Amino acid sequence: MCGIIGYIGGRQIIPVLLEGLRRLEYRGYDSAGMVFLENEEIKVIKVKGSVFNLEEKVYTELPYNSKAPGLGHTRWATHGEPSENNAHPHLDCEGNLALVHNGIIENYYELKESLIKRGHNFISATDTEVIVHLIEDYVRQGLNLKTAFMKSVKKIRGSFAIALISKKDPQFIMVAREKSPLIIGLGEGENFIASDIPAILPFTKKVLFLDDGEIAILYKDRVELFNFEGEKIRKNPVCISWDLALAEKGGFPHFMLKEIYDQPEAVKHTLLGRLDLDSGEINFSKEGLTQAFLKDIEKIFIVACGTSYHAGLVGKYLIERHLKIPVEVDLASEFRYRFPLIDSKTLFIAISQSGETADTLAGLRLAKQAGARILSICNVLGSTITRESDLVLYTQAGPEISVASTKAFVTQVLIFILLVLYIKKMFYGESKKDMILTLIKLPSLLKNFTEKVHFEIKKLAERWYRIENCLFLGRNILYPIAMEGALKLKEIAYIHAEGYAAGEMKHGPIALIGENFPTVVLSAKETGIVYEKTLSNAEEVKSRRSPIIAIISENSEEFKKIAESYIEVPSTHYELLPILYVIPLQLFAYEMATLRGCDVDKPRNLAKSVTVE
């Protein structure tokens, strides 16, 4: 939530900030702002709404002598409504200091009260503004800016990534991190800060990841690192392998559509290095997943949020079926407060595209403290969750920009498939060669299927885009996919949707459905006995006059007879069903959303990376 970009160096500051903000807009987009030096003065430009509005305003005001250092911010409001006044940056009383913030300051109220008593003048409703006045207060007491910054950082509580510039000290930017992500991009004679990698990809791929409790002072030609005690620390930069083109729309109208079409490549990259073509086996040993790591595991917890949680539910079906280890899947926000029973024989699996989701991270820390082994399935190299895990299996989906997650989900599910194949071979000596062959062909299968089904889904969306309610039903491994289909439709098309276990439908949702309340039924012959059970559920739906949109295996003649529309999915292995069945649902939500005029990549009130509780 909220995106921060900052720059110090010789480039034109405004294009760098705008470029960074455009790439961070998925983190929040209800207001935006930037600050830089203009004729040695602090110049602030802020708007309500998107970065596009900011860009218009910047070019209307035409600052002609703008200079680094500068900071940019795109906001997802927590304290104070989205407005120009509450947009960041925030200034001190004298207009010497400008600060941007991502996170929540929990003790802001008491700090604000005492700063007001000490004569500070607040003009916004944000929690952020207290930080800059606190720093100013210490400077008024005679401290130099660096010491004032360090003292303030120790006094504020909550989650924060903050960045500060000063017109009196234009030779540096100061930043601090506590429970909110912040990275430093290292260039030649220039340095960057950002909330996430895509913002700095056009400029540098050399990155330092700040950890909680760390401060950095960025000069043009160097970066100094400290802990909150003011002691100098050292860390090594990491080189990011992501290609800039992957963070661009590449001719597609939206990132979401591009990312759906990226899925075959994402699958190919996730298989690469794990699928040994010579032996025909999966191998995770290079990543540290050994018998020793998994020894004596008696129970698995999978913890995640949003779409990643649905991948976790798929994981449960796969692990319990193949490895016979009990699995509990929890929403991270519930897990962290429910006193789960964890010990050293527990394997904790965190799933997160961003690696920064606050609840998932909190769950991970709780499990770690209780002695569990921590494995994470993550997409962003060097993100906080990866750094705090004992072992990381990266999804190689490349940068995912659209708020609605697509290719990350498909690759998370793929990791679970590879994981069970690998562990099955390692512990029980069992290989599934036929499935390995299918995996090799999976990228081209996905490509062909996506193109074909997209055409069919467009027609379906034209028929249904005016609905206000929709039920999604599935059983077994397709139940999480029904939930994911419903989530997608809610997130981007703003249509009320429920994802339900088909067998549970009679215990509630059946009361809702009717002529204007269609039901999407997911059914696959590969699910065995539940195929017929789902058919019975579909009959019950039809009897209540809810039109059926059936997503079915090829030649499911029984469904074709009762469905108003149907989409056929190529036959595959049971384990791969979630990957194939989710594609029409992603495209359905996308096409419905565009026909309804929704801003697909920036759905209202949502943010891609939820870094506050």
Q: Which of 352, 553, 556, 611 binds ligand G6P (CB under 6 A)?
A: 352
Map residues 372-411 to x or -, x wherever contact with ligand G6P holds by CB under 6 A.
-------------------------------xxx------
Assess 305 for contact with ligand G6P (CB under 6 A): yes
Spell out the residues 6+ positions from residue 184 whose beta carbon is closer than 8 angstroms to its own.
175, 191, 192, 193, 207, 208, 210, 216, 218, 223
Task: Report the DSSP pairing between strands 238-239 and 299-304.
Answer: unpaired
Cis? peptide before 480, omega within 30° of 0: no
CA dist list (Å): 598 to 28, 178, 247, 470, 610: 16, 35, 22, 17, 21
Which stretches within 356-507 are classed as H helix? 358-369, 384-387, 407-428, 433-464, 479-493
- CA 146: distance to chain centroid? 33
Q: Would you tell me how many other CB atoms lie within 10 Å of the CB of residue 186? A: 18
The distance of closest approach from Cβ of residue 347 to ligand G6P in the complex, given in angstroms and rounded to an integer, is 19
Q: Does the footprint of ligand G6P cover residue 307 (CB under 6 A)? A: yes
Q: Is 409 helix (H, G, I), strand (E, B) or coil?
A: helix
The nearer residue to ligand G6P, 159 or 609, going by C-beta atoms, is: 609
Residue 360 makes contact with ligand G6P by CB under 6 A = yes
Widest Cα–Cα separation across the chain: 81
Smallest distance from ligand G6P to CB 385, Å: 8
Task: Please state, in angstroms and rounded to a whole number, the distance separating the CA atoms of residues 230 and 146.
Answer: 10
DSSP state string for 164-182 = EEESS-TT-EEEEEEBS--
Q: Which range of residues in 130-138, 279-287, 306-314, 466-474 is near ligand G6P by CB under 6 A? A: 306-314
354 interacts with ligand G6P by CB under 6 A = yes
Output the DSSP codes for 219-243: -SS-EEEEETTS-EE----EE----
Question: DSSP string of 238-297?
Answer: EE----GGGGS-TT-SSHHHHHHHTHHHHHHHHHTTTEETTTTEE--GGGT--HHHHTT-
Under a CB-based contact definition with an 8 Å cutoff, are residues 460 and 549 in contact?
yes
415 interacts with ligand G6P by CB under 6 A? no
> Would you state the structure tokens that stand for residue 138, as one six-digit string?
């210490």
- If we measure between CA atoms, which residue out of 465, 506, 444 comes closest to residue 589? 465
Positions annotated as catalytic residues are: 2, 608
d(CA 96, CA 98): 7
Length of the chain: 613
- What are the strands of the beta sheet with 206-209, ordered from one edge? 41-48, 31-38, 66-75, 3-8, 191-194, 183-186, 206-209, 238-239
Q: Give just the sign of the alpha carbon dihedral 127, 133, 137, 142.
A: positive
First to last CA, the chain: 10
Question: Is 90 in contact with 125 (CB distance < 8 Å)?
Answer: no
Please identify the residue of the shown chain whose CB is closest to the bound ligand G6P: 306
CA atoms of 91 and 315, how far apart (whole Å): 48
Minimum distance between the CB of residue 603 and ligand G6P, rounded to whole angstroms? Answer: 8
Nearest to 159 by CA among 107, 115, 197: 107
The residue (of 50 and 406) whose beta carbon lies closer to ligand G6P is 406
Measuring CA to CA, how many Å separate 345 from each of 119, 205, 297, 425? 56, 39, 5, 21
Segment near ligand G6P (CB under 6 A); pick from 54-62, 282-290, 351-359, 494-502: 351-359
Pairing of strands 391-394, 373-378: parallel
Least distance to ligand G6P, CB of residue 307, Å: 3
Contact residues for ligand G6P, defined by CB under 6 A? 305-308, 352-354, 357, 360, 403-405, 606, 608-610
